[in-house]
Amino acid sequence: MLTSADFATLRLTFQVASLATMLMLLFGTPLAWWLARTQSKYKGIINAIVALPLVLPPTVLGFYLLVILGKNGPIGQITTQLGLGTLPFTFAGLVVSSFLYSLPFVVQPLQTAFSAIGNRPLEAAATLRASPLDTFFSVVVPLSKSGFLTATVLGFAHTVGEFGVVLMVGGNIPDKTRVVSVQIYNHVEALEYSEAHWLAGGLLAFSFCVLWVLYSIVKTPSSIQLHK
């Protein structure tokens, strides 16, 4: 059965995943829109940077985040001078690392959805003198519902299942940075296979249900092009 420590890790995991997903949608939506519309020569470089977590080993990304966010890193020095301390081994550090690691799972579905709209709906809105912001929320967002759904579900689910990055940046601090994937590792390391089965089986069922619902609702599952 699940212990109180297991429930604490589940609660922390879903808190991190929820906040990280909201941040990914907030920052990933304008980035995906720019990537879908721009003709800039830097588009390929930005695309590569965004997609880098898909091919980079999580421990590599976690190591460099640990260095950058640490007290001797550029961001760590800024946060220290601002009186915020450093981000590694904190809840905020977990959110930041999860945001960066799962960002391509939000940006790429949105970019695909935005690219599929084409120019005609936007030109029609322009002839009605709609502002760019009004056009985006009145035309682009409704036409991209499946993209937003896919991005939200994949971003959240991927964040829930993270291990390498969150272990490197967050560590293994009970009730503070210990997420469910790390708790499963702890159970296995302690040969507590029964407890590990409960958590691992729960994540397996959660992942299956997420994908099942996603493929049932989104009518064009072939548009989900992320592989890991």
Q: How does pLDDT run across 157-170, given as a tens digit for each residue? A: 999 988 989 999 99
Q: What is the pLDDT of residues 64-99, one digit of tens each?
A: 999 999 988 999 999 888 888 899 999 999 999 999
Instruction: Give the global pTM.
Output: 0.88
Give a three-class secondary structure readout of the chain: CCCHHHHHHHHHHHHHHHHHHHHHHHHHHHHHHHHHHCCCCCHHHHHHHHHHHHHCCHHHHHHHHHHHHCCCCHHHHHHHHCCCCCCCCCHHHHHHHHHHHHCHHHHHHHHHHHHHHCCHHHHHHHHCCCCHHHHHHHHHHHHCHHHHHHHHHHHHHHHHCCCHHHHHHHCCCCCCCCCHHHHHHHHHHCCCHHHHHHHHHHHHHHHHHHHHHHHHHCCCHHHCCCCC
Please identify every stretch of the chain with a pLDDT value under 50, giving residue numbers as ranges: 220-228
User: Is 4-34+51-117+146-219 a domain of CATH 1.25.40.340?
Assistant: no
- The domain limits of the chain are 4-34+51-117+146-219
How confident is the model at residue 227, as a pLDDT? Answer: 41
